[in-house]
Amino acid sequence: MRNVILFIGRYLTFFTFLFLQIVSLWFLYSFNQFHQARFSQTANELTGAVNKRYKNFENFFLQGEENRRLHRVNDSLLNLLSQQVATTDTSSRLVTDTLLIDSTRQYRRYYFRPASVVFNSTSSEKNYIQLDRGSLHGITENMSVLNADGSAVGIVVHVSPHFAQVMSLLHVRQKVNVSLQQTGDFGTLEWDGKDPGLLLLKGLPKSVPVKMGDPVVASKYSYNFPPGYPVGTIAEIIIDKSTNFYLLKVKPAARFNNLQYVFVVENLQYAEQTTLDQETRKKIEDAKRSSR
């Protein structure tokens, strides 16, 4: 026993090293669970505050670019105003609706909240973006994030009271359901961590006609992204003879190096859709098990 204590005493520095190394690796590999913990939330608030100051300073130099972009958005929004559209419908007639469900009632599916980016990176394989809006402003996980001009940026993965962390499209674990604008066929958008200027579109069957420059938009089947918003354009078509699917490279529509103001988009039906999905799966699984 005495020898053991002597041994440890002699190599105390080495054991400290070993212990701290284990601690830091534990931080690294339990990132997701650990990230939920209080400590990281405090850290998030602190780094967020510093990042916000820096961003305020940086924005001063980048306003011109952002102004042009906002101008473009305003332009496109003006075209959507109802006063720009005239109705020439003179043949309509009133029909008494006997259905119990009012099928003409409209409901809101997406709610947009503005936010500004306080931290951003494109140089790692796992890029996160930090926004200056958090749970106090109604941001929750799984909301999608669009750039000021409506192009897809990422999905909120974690929130603290004043800040939110977004998993960028430039993240090797990111998977987004997207479709071709022309045909509506859908595939999965991923990133291989190599070139921040090129995303990968997988799972699109070769029967679909694809050209260079075809626009790729958020799919109607995505739970997070509102459909039809631009994601990118096809930049390279790789035909792999061994599969029935294309491997497409997509040039992202958002310029990730230069994000300033973004929209956080809430799908108001998100909870209902996902719970229905889960319950369906459970129901079918249970039915299978009981029939056996």
Residues at the site binding other proteins, with contacts judged by CB under 8 A: 12-14, 16-17, 20-21, 23-29, 31, 34-35, 40, 43-44, 46-47, 50-51, 54, 119, 121-126, 128, 130, 165, 172, 193-196, 257
CB of 144 to other proteins, least distance (A): 19
Residue closer to other proteins by CB (options 40, 188) is: 40
Query: Phi and psi (nearest 5°) for 204?
Result: -95, 120
CB of 203 to other proteins, least distance (A): 20
CB of 92 to other proteins, least distance (A): 56
Residue closer to other proteins by CB (options 16, 274) is: 16
CB atoms within 10 A of CB 200: 17
- Read off the tokens for 208: 């679909």
CB of 26 to other proteins, least distance (A): 7
Residue closer to other proteins by CB (options 44, 179) is: 44
CB of 35 to other proteins, least distance (A): 8
Residue closer to other proteins by CB (options 27, 112) is: 27
Amino acid in the structure at residue 111 = Y
Euclidean distance between CA atoms 145 and 251, whole angstroms: 18
CB of 43 to other proteins, least distance (A): 4
